Amino acid sequence: MKPPAHRPQAAVVISLLAVVMAFLVPGPASAATNLVTNAGFESGTLSGWSCPAGGVTTSAPHSGSYALSATPSSGDIAKCSQSIAVQPNTAYTLSAWVKGSNVYLGVDGGPSTWTTSSGWSQLTVPFTTGASSSVTIYVHSWYALPAYQVDDVVLDGPGGAPDTTPPSTPGGLAVGSPTSSSLKLTWSAASDANGIDHYDVVRGTGAAQSVGNVTSWTATGLSAATTYSFKVRACDPSGNCSPYGAAVSGTTSDGGTNPPVGSLPAHVLTGYWQNFNNGATVQKISDVPAAYDLIAVAFADADASKPGGITFTLDSAGLGGYTVAQFKADIAAKQAAGKKVILSVGGQNGTISVADPTAAANFASSALSVLREYGFDGIDIDLENGVNAQYMGQALRSLQSQFGSGLVITMAPQTIDMQSTSFEYFKLALAIKDILTIVNVQYYNSGSMNGCDGQVYSQGSVDFITAQACIMLQGGLRPDQVGLGLPASSSAAGSGYVAPSVVNNALDCLTKGTGCGNYKPSTPWPSLRGAMTWSTNWDASNGNQFATQVGGHVHALP
């Protein structure tokens, strides 16, 4: 999603007096503390690092004699990581010098940043720890890109004692809610002094699957009238895992059931509406075609005075004098026609962060106030700078408990965010699965990605869309919670636009098993929820092709 560009702030004039005083008044002595082991790779090895696709190089390091060099493959992003003991609820700064294409620096479960540079460039990621006494820092590139280099990695802040105590074993495992292809697992939360990072589920004698920090999960893709056994363990942020609890069995039914669809249609067309003018057709809410069942107003603003808080201001000037009173009336008219209008939080430049209990409480209270003021039906999470599954999950549950069970909750993660159930966006979706309405992944601006069949697909094709969508379906989301997000025109995104016919083929492939490319799911998901586009404004600029062609197709699905 792309919000409007903002005008740079005026340069700040530094007082000469302040400069003079800084030299005259002595301050406390301080020295940076680097907690990274083998930070400059001067051991000539990768000691201290987990880096399966990497090695050291002597070719033009940033400093010293060595640097890290790692090479992605078609199925691997060449991630290198290191777990470090830290102090809980403490501010740290992570930095590194990097060189290469799409080089990422970040903290597991926390913020990250990236750059592309042919020469050495420094990345910096400030963050505050949560309750854990350990963090894992990482660097990586992207699938099939050339080798990248890293040097002089620094984690600046106070050190902490390593955590070696595993969590308690989760108990109370129960298997129920059978359909012909799924079983729902529930268990009691484990305890750990530094919190639970995730739970692992094992089916039969298969491999462990991380399902996030949740106490319920649905195993999908099962055979009808078949008995399966499961066991669960808990793992903390330091990588310590409990023993597995006793295995429990459940049997699938011989006929499936669809979950209730509430006040939204069984199949939904979602469109983002731009609260700004960036060259697309300027619209009022009343101008949005009736084909759109769900309208996401983009975007909320961050409340600078309240961490995690949000506000909303209608861009009346940019929208040709659109008044707040008319905006509210148009929302009410759409609702009277059976549509839902929600507020989207985030976008390409969204800076809202919910990473601690205070921010979670601020988000919930401020969002409730904005939703009630304008009459919105719900909230959309489109934070392209990342989410914290634990605290955003807390915020959304708090909001839902105050707003009521009719709250619509949608998400619009980028493609990479839903590649694995261990990623924060996926963990968030699973953590709030019982109150989540739809996840509309943005299948654009993403390049090539691994599909659920282990193959790499390029964006802009039926295969890319279907092989990505099935990752969510196999990872635990219900089909009615999965939507396909595509641009409304070639102007709406940097890359990934496809003709409406390609979107319709992907919908048919996933719901009926027809219209597929090289990848065809082993079973169709008829209750797949629908499609989303950025944006209704760009769609209007393109003759409303998405609303007419994709919208008509969505509403004709079985």
Q: Is residue 276 part of a domain?
A: yes
In a shared domain, residues 241 and 275:
no
Asked if the model's pLDDT at residue 31 lies above 60, the reply is no
**Edge-to-edge strand ranges of the sheet holding 174-176:** 174-176, 183-186, 216-219
- List all residues 6 or more positions away from 126 whose beta carbon is below 8 Å from its beta carbon: 91, 92, 93, 94, 111
Q: What is the pLDDT of residues 379-428, one digit of tens each?
A: 999 987 778 999 999 999 999 988 888 899 999 999 999 999 999 999 99
- CATH at 34: 2.60.120.260
In the listed set 127, 156, 185, which residue is the last one of a domain according to the structure? 156
Q: Which domain holds residue 467?
A: 268-555
- What is the pLDDT, as a whole number, of residue 176? 78
> In whole angstroms, how far apart are CA 193 and each of 212, 239, 356?
18, 13, 17
Q: Is residue 166 part of a domain?
A: no
In a shared domain, residues 149 and 181:
no
Asked if the model's pLDDT at residue 21 lies above 50, the reply is no
Task: Report yes or no: 197 and 241 within 8 Å, Cβ to Cβ.
Answer: no
For 501, other C-beta atoms within 10 Å of its C-beta total: 14
Q: Is residue 187 part of a domain?
A: yes
Asked if the model's pLDDT at residue 173 lies above 60, the reply is yes
In a shared domain, residues 132 and 200:
no
In a shared domain, residues 189 and 300:
no
Q: Is residue 280 part of a domain?
A: yes
- What is the pLDDT, as a whole number, of residue 313? 96
In a shared domain, residues 436 and 514:
yes
- What is the pLDDT, as a whole number, of residue 181? 81
For 200, other C-beta atoms within 10 Å of its C-beta total: 18
Q: Is residue 8 part of a domain?
A: no
- What is the pLDDT, as a whole number, of residue 93? 95
The one-letter code for the residue type at 458 is S
- Is the C-alpha dihedral spanning 96, 157, 83, 417 positive or negative? negative
Average pLDDT of the segment spanning 240-244: 94
In a shared domain, residues 113 and 138:
yes
- What is the pLDDT, as a whole number, of residue 177? 76
- What is the pLDDT, as a whole number, of residue 254? 61
Task: Report yes or no: 146 and 100 within 8 Å, Cβ to Cβ.
Answer: yes
For 18, other C-beta atoms within 10 Å of its C-beta total: 8
Q: Is residue 440 part of a domain?
A: yes
Average pLDDT of the segment spanning 97-115: 94
Confidence band for 8, pLDDT divided at 50, 70 and 90:
very low
In a shared domain, residues 388 and 518:
yes
The two three-digit tokens of residue 258, written as one number: 């669809």
Q: What is the pLDDT of residues 307-348, one digit of tens each?
A: 999 999 999 999 999 999 999 999 999 999 999 999 999 866
In a shared domain, residues 530 and 455:
yes
In a shared domain, residues 286 and 433:
yes
- What is the pLDDT, as a whole number, of residue 349? 61
Residues taking part in catalysis: 384
**How large a percentage of the chain has pLDDT more than 70?**
92
For 480, other C-beta atoms within 10 Å of its C-beta total: 23
In the numeric block, the tokens 């074993």 are attached to 169
In the listed set 123, 156, 189, which residue is the last one of a domain according to the structure? 156
Q: Work out the mean pLDDT of the chain and round it to a whole number.
A: 88
Asked if the model's pLDDT at residue 16 lies above 60, the reply is no
Q: Is residue 16 part of a domain?
A: no
- CATH at 243: 2.60.40.10
In the numeric block, the tokens 């308690």 are attached to 168
In the listed set 251, 280, 313, which residue is the last one of a domain according to the structure? 251
In a shared domain, residues 198 and 283:
no
Q: What is the DSSP secondary structure assignment for residue 193, as one 8-state letter?
A: T
Instruction: State the total domains in the chain.
Output: 3
**How large a percentage of the chain has pLDDT more than 90?**
71
In a shared domain, residues 198 and 345:
no
b/e per residue 88-126 (b: at least 16 CB within 10 A): eeeebebbbbbbbbbbbbbbbbbbbebeeeeebeebebe
- List all residues 6 or more positions away from 176 whose beta carbon is below 8 Å from its beta carbon: 183, 184, 186, 250
In a shared domain, residues 441 and 292:
yes
Asked if the model's pLDDT at residue 5 lies above 90, the reply is no
Higher-pLDDT residue of 252 and 402 is: 402
Confidence band for 134, pLDDT divided at 50, 70 and 90:
confident
Q: Is residue 10 part of a domain?
A: no
In the numeric block, the tokens 């949000």 are attached to 310
- CATH at 389: 3.20.20.80
Asked if the model's pLDDT at residue 223 lies above 90, the reply is no
In the numeric block, the tokens 């939080």 are attached to 345
